[in-house]
């Protein structure tokens, strides 16, 4: 029945904290449930609606659609229609949306201790380990793409490119990070080096409990590749 709903109040009503505070303003934008996890997904590259829904188990279809609409309106994501061959559209982060990487990194570092326990109900995706790993790969001097192989799957990380880990205090204040992806899901188109490790080692690296050099020496990381980046990873 055409019950006359308020026509304009569709999604216009966004609940705000109404505080003149930078943190509160951020939470007005990204404080809703699922929003930051959608950003986490899109940090790994452009994704289709169905991909997002598959990698965010538990989110309902309408909430996902609503979030994407809100995020598009607030300038966090853009929706791009792919050329005819693939009649689909993908969502990708804007530069503004990509600027949330330091927030996600800080959350990931703080939440890392909670990963000590792996509950049977937990979903897992390989690229979720990319963010913690970024800090461990941050000190590399050579630039290139590292392909990471875990038991859970693979992803690739672009390292050495000016500011990788970001958020830092010392370096230049993040101006133009561009929309450039720092990491991506799946294998790399062209990898300068390949590493294989398990999730546990990956997390230990991210927390700083283990250094890259130690892990390589112990054989807990297997490095392959013959470029300068691979050599640096081997500690040569």
Residue numbers at the binding site for DNA (CB under 7 A):
5-6, 13-15, 32-34, 48-51, 58-63, 65-66, 68-69, 79, 88-89
Nearest approach in angstroms of CB 220 to its own copies is 19
User: Per-residue contact track with its own copies, 149 to 178, x per CB under 8 A?
Assistant: ----------------xxxxxxx-x-----
Q: From CA 191, how far away is CA 188, in angstroms rounded?
A: 6
Q: Facing residues of 78 across strands?
A: 92
Burial zone of 236 (CB within 10 Å; 0-12 exposed, 13-18 middle, 19+ buried): exposed
124 touching its own copies, by CB under 8 A: yes
Work out whether strand 144-150 and strand 193-196 pair parallel, antiparallel, or are unpaired. parallel
With CB under 8 A as the rule, give the number of residues binding its own copies: 58
Q: From CA 195, how far away is CA 216, in angstroms rounded?
A: 10
31 touching its own copies, by CB under 8 A: yes
Residue 50's binding partner, choosing from DNA, its own copies, none, with beta-carbon cut-off 5 to 8 A by kind?
DNA
CB 88 within 8 A of CB 42: no
Q: Closest Cα partner for 51 from 86, 3, 14, 4?
A: 86
**Residue 173: both structure tokens together:** 């204040």
Q: Measured from the CB atom, is 17 or 88 closer to its own copies? A: 17
Residue 123's binding partner, choosing from its own copies, DNA, none, with beta-carbon cut-off 5 to 8 A by kind?
its own copies
Which residues, 6+ apart, have CB-to-CB distance to 223 below 8 Å? 193, 194, 195, 216, 230, 233, 234
13 touching its own copies, by CB under 8 A: no
Q: Which stretch binds its own copies (CB under 8 A): 46-54, 81-89, 118-126, 228-236?
A: 118-126
Q: Measured from the CB atom, is 54 or 82 closer to its own copies? A: 54
Identify the helix (H) or strand (E) that includes residue 93. Answer: strand 89-93
Residue ranges binding its own copies (CB under 8 A)? 17-29, 31, 33, 36-37, 40, 57-58, 99-100, 102-112, 114-115, 118-119, 121-125, 128, 131-132, 135, 138, 165-171, 173, 203, 206, 208
């Amino acid at each position: 029945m055409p019950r006359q709903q308020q026509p304009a109040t569709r999604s216009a009503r966004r609940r705000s904290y109404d505080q003149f505070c930078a943190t509160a303003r951020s939470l007005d934008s990204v404080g809703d449930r699922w929003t930051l996890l959608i950003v986490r997904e899109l940090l790994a590259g452009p994704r289709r609606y169905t991909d997002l829904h598959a990698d965010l188990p538990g989110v309902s279809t309408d909430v996902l659609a609503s979030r994407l609409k809100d995020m598009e309106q607030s300038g966090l994501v853009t929706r791009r229609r792919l050329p005819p061959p693939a009649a689909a559209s993908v969502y990708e982060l804007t530069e503004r949306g990509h600027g949330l990487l330091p927030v996600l990194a800080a959350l990931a570092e703080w939440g890392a201790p909670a990963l000590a326990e792996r509950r049977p109900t937990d979903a897992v995706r390989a690229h979720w380990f990319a963010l913690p790993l970024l800090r461990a790969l941050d000190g590399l001097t050579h630039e290139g793409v590292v392909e990471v192989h875990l038991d859970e799957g693979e992803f690739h990380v672009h390292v050495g490119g000016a500011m990788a880990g970001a958020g830092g205090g010392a370096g230049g204040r993040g101006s133009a990070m561009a929309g450039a992806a720092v990491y991506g899901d799946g294998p790399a188109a062209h990898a300068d080096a390949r590493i294989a490790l398990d999730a546990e080692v990956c997390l230990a690296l991210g927390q700083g409990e283990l250094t890259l050099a130690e892990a390589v020496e112990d054989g807990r990381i297997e490095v392959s590749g013959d470029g300068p980046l691979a050599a640096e990873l081997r500690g040569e």
